[in-house]
Amino acid sequence: MMHHAEITQEPLFYLFVAFTILLTLGYTWGKRRNKRLFVDAFEAIQAVLNPKDQQFTNIGGLTGYHANFVPKQNKFVRRVDATITLLPRQSWLYYPFARLFGRFDRLYLVYHLSPKADGAIAEGHIIARKYSRAVGASISNAEHLSKESVDWGGREYFLYYADRITREALMRCRNQLEEPAEVRHIALVPSEQRVFVLMRPRVGEVGKVIDPLTTWVNGHVEERKAALKQSQHEPAEQNNAR
């Protein structure tokens, strides 16, 4: 009993107790914060897509979630995949190091285009200049694309595009979103028939991006299909004129 009393009077004992309480409080706060972020993001996507089918998967405990959404009515988008990876806020031992090494919350969106959109997009990217220097952010086909720098909400972005229509579409996307919010990269990937988006999820901000972005994806595919159809008719009209 005397030995136990001596331990409880040691300063290190009280520091240990305080540290344990701090970690417990940090775990509770981090868990709630991360849950709020991923729930807000997925609910915003649901509200825009109005899916007829959806599936959710936990891929990283409290820091990773994946979802598949099949839109109820969408002519050119057959499925949207969403993956969110979050900072380890529940672990106050690791969280400071994650911030120190430049990690941030990420929301990846992949719009899988339907067969009706086959061949209707060309490659194009709009990517934040600061993010473009990050590991894994390089554009593999950049040397074959035109490039220019544009201002978006006071931030510098790089525009990569295969043709004039794609450039105009990316500029229209920028104008429709008005502010980039936390968008880091938007990519049109014709080889995979996908539109890829990377953004930093913020509570209340995801819906402001997803709504106009989904409208833009459908509008761009419609425009490209009309342009392709027109280009196919022009040679036939010229031959008839002869």
Cα–Cα nearest to 197, from 46, 43, 181: 181
Per-residue pLDDT of the chain (242 residues; tens, 9 = 90+): 445 555 455 667 666 666 676 666 667 777 888 899 999 999 999 999 999 999 999 998 888 999 999 998 888 999 999 999 998 877 766 777 776 777 889 999 999 999 998 888 999 999 999 888 876 777 888 899 999 999 998 899 999 999 999 999 999 999 988 788 789 999 999 999 999 999 999 998 899 999 999 999 999 999 888 887 777 755 545 555 55
Task: Say whether 115 sits in a helix, a strand or coil.
Answer: helix
Cα-Cα end-to-end distance for the chain: 110
SS3 133: coil
Q: Residue 237: exposed, middle, or buried by beta-carbon count in 10 A (0-12, 13-18, 19+)?
A: exposed
Cα-Cα-Cα-Cα torsion 90, 96, 99, 103, nearest 10 degrees, comes to -50
* Nearest Cα to Cα of residue 161 among 176, 142, 180, 178: 142
Q: What 3-state class would DSSP assign to 196?
A: strand
- The neighbouring-strand residues paired with 188 are 124, 195
CB 198 within 8 A of CB 81: no
